[in-house]
């Protein structure tokens, strides 16, 4: 099987002084931006949203010159500012970063140094967290229908470091963990029967796929305790992209329901260390959308759990990284047709899948110095894949894009690089991290030979 513990390094090594220092300095960083932001329970040091227009065009253009396009750019200062704002609104909660939004090892190390736990959705994400040197007590693994290979890897990781936590979303998963002789820290994922989110594909809270049916929860919890598991937590996830008032109302019903279920478990099985209410903190993708008002969401959550003696845990993914990242792409073709103006770019559904998958809106901006003088015209911006879903927008009025322009695509920090794929045999773009006035390449561009490497390995008889 795929146990690859030998190249994991030493996951039990703590984050070390660097990380601890970064955590401390995060709290003492100078305040910039508005200190009396209306959002966040305490004054925060950053505006609640960074729009695409707020990025420095010259700097982005020079990164595109240096590294080529397409290119993902991620600003770690913005990630940390988002983290501090959320931590300010939820001062007593544990923050577990959902790695699936962007699982770069560098990023996991940074959010962990700020105090976060890492919420992992696969063995691969657990592997990444361990590569980042994150100790087991800051790693949670929550998989949906976990492949056996994943469970085996995670159980091996647990043998190395018994402080990690596994979340099971089905009775079968509990039984399979027991069969692998796992009897460590266990959290149960419940299906609360209430969901919310920006698109039906991400409203997981009420979808039967996710979590133990609420009516089976207490029985499953009993069973787990009897089998010798260390039952420490209860988990539920409402969905992704909770932003507007309707979704916030669904969120209110959701946290109330989770609190009721937690109370039932505590009353019949015993105390719990934590209850996680998942992620789903929305970010505005459209320029005119207001940011999520964190305070009411925090207050509702806090109120729902007021009578329970548990640590509250939240699992932001997108909230921490979406507006910290942009995708840079170059215009290579402009075609005027009787129907529309088609702008061809070197990025598309293989680099940013969200528009094709969810019909998602991402802001677009030319970084050309003259771009702001150009008049808006309806434009369809299309990628290089021969599929009609390979478009970032259709007939969107935007200042005219010209061949050779570098275009910045907003909010690409979450579910951008992470969902990239090599369809059409297109190598995946590199990622550059901006860190203050420095920048560094944290993932190189895939090459054409990377595309055939695994086939070459198979020809040479390398099995894994
Ligand atoms: C996807 C996911 C998250 C994060 O969702 P966001 O919308 O990015 O905040 C958190 N928890 C679980 C279990 C998830 O599957």
Instruction: Give residue-wise pLDDT tens across range 254-312.
Output: 999 999 999 999 999 999 999 999 999 999 999 999 999 999 999 999 999 999 999 99
Q: Is 298 helix (H, G, I), strand (E, B) or coil?
A: helix
Cβ(100) to ligand 1 under 6 A?
A: yes
Centre of ligand 1 to C-alpha 301, Å, is 17
Centre of ligand 1 to C-alpha 164, Å, is 19
The H-or-E segment that residue 407 falls in is strand 406-409
Q: What is the mean pLDDT of residues 147-165?
A: 98
Buried b (16+ CB within 10 A) or exposed e, 199-218: eeebbbbbeeebbbebebbb
- Over the Cα atoms of the chain, what is R_g? 23
Report whether pLDDT(201) > 80: no
Nearest to 328 by CA among 78, 107, 108, 66: 66
DSSP 229-259: -EEEEEE----S-B-SHHHHHHHHHHHHHHH
300: which 2 tokens?
């509702």
Percent of all residues in the chain with a pLDDT value above 90, rounded to a whole number: 80
Catalytic residues: 386
Cβ(169) to ligand 1 under 6 A?
A: no
What is the CATH architecture of 17-49+77-320? Alpha-Beta Barrel (3.20)
* Residue 316 among known ligand-binding residues: yes
Please tell me the least confidently modeled range out of 167-171, 310-314, 334-338, 458-462.
458-462
pLDDT tens-place string over residues 9-27: 333 333 333 333 333 333 3
* Residue 315 among known ligand-binding residues: yes
Percent of all residues in the chain with a pLDDT value above 70, rounded to a whole number: 87
State residue 245's pLDDT score: 78
Report whether pLDDT(39) > 50: no
166 or 239, higher pLDDT? 166
Cβ(383) to ligand 1 under 6 A?
A: no
Q: Is 76 helix (H, G, I), strand (E, B) or coil?
A: helix
The ranges of the chain annotated as CATH 2.40.37.10 are: 323-453
323-453 CATH pick, 3.30.1330.60, 2.40.37.10, 3.40.30.10, 2.30.30.100:
2.40.37.10
State residue 207's pLDDT score: 78
Centre of ligand 1 to C-alpha 94, Å, is 15
Cβ(89) to ligand 1 under 6 A?
A: no
Adjacent-strand bridge partners of 294: none
Rounded Cα gap, residues 447 and 424, in angstroms: 14
Report whether pLDDT(366) > 60: yes
pLDDT tens-place string over residues 374-384: 999 999 999 99
The ranges of the chain annotated as CATH 3.20.20.10 are: 17-49+77-320
* Residue 384 among known ligand-binding residues: no
């Amino acid at each position: 099987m795929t146990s690859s513990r030998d190249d994991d390094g030493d996951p039990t090594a703590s984050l070390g002084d660097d990380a601890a220092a970064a955590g401390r300095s995060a709290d003492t960083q100078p305040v910039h931006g508005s200190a009396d932001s209306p959002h966040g329970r305490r004054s925060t040091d950053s505006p609640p949203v960074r729009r695409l227009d707020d990025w420095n065009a010259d700097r982005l253009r020079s990164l595109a010159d240096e590294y080529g396009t397409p290119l993902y750019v991620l600003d770690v200062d913005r990630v940390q500012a988002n983290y501090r704002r959320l931590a300010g609104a939820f001062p007593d909660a544990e923050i577990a970063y959902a790695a699936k939004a962007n699982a770069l090892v560098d990023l996991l190390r940074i959010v962990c140094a700020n105090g976060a736990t890492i919420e992992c959705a696969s063995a691969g994400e657990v592997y990444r967290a361990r590569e980042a040197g994150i100790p087991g007590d800051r790693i949670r693994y929550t998989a949906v229908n976990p492949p056996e290979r994943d469970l085996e890897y995670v159980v091996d990781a647990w043998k190395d470091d018994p402080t990690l936590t596994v979340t099971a979303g089905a009775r079968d998963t509990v039984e399979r963990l027991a069969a692998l002789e796992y009897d460590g820290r266990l959290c149960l994922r419940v299906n609360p029967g209430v969901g919310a989110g920006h698109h039906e594909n991400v409203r997981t809270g009420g979808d039967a796929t996710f979590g133990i049916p609420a009516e089976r929860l207490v029985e499953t919890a009993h069973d787990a305790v009897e089998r010798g598991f260390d039952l420490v937590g209860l988990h539920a996830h409402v969905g992704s992209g909770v932003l507007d008032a309707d979704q916030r109302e669904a969120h209110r019903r959701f946290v109330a329901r989770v609190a009721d279920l937690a109370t039932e478990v505590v009353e019949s099985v015993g105390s719990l260390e934590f209850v996680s209410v998942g992620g789903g903190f929305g970010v505005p993708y459209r320029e005119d959308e207001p940011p999520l008002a964190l305070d009411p969401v925090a207050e509702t959550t806090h109120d729902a759990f007021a009578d329970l003696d548990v640590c509250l845990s939240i699992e932001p993914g997108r909230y921490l990284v979406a507006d910290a990242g942009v995708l840079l792409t170059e215009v290579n073709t402009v075609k005027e047709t009787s129907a529309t103006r088609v702008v061809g770019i070197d990025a598309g559904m293989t680099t940013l899948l969200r528009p094709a998958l969810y019909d998602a809106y991402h802001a677009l901006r030319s970084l050309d110095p003259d771009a702001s003088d150009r008049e808006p015209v309806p434009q369809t911006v299309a990628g290089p894949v021969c599929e009609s879903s390979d478009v970032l927008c259709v007939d969107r009025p935007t200042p005219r894009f010209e061949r050779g322009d570098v275009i910045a695509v907003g909010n690409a920090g979450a579910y951008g690089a992470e969902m990239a794929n090599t369809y059409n045999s297109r190598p995946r773009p590199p990622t550059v991290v901006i860190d203050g006035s420095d920048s560094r390449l944290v993932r190189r561009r895939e090459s054409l030979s990377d595309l055939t490497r695994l086939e070459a390995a198979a020809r040479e008889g390398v099995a894994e």
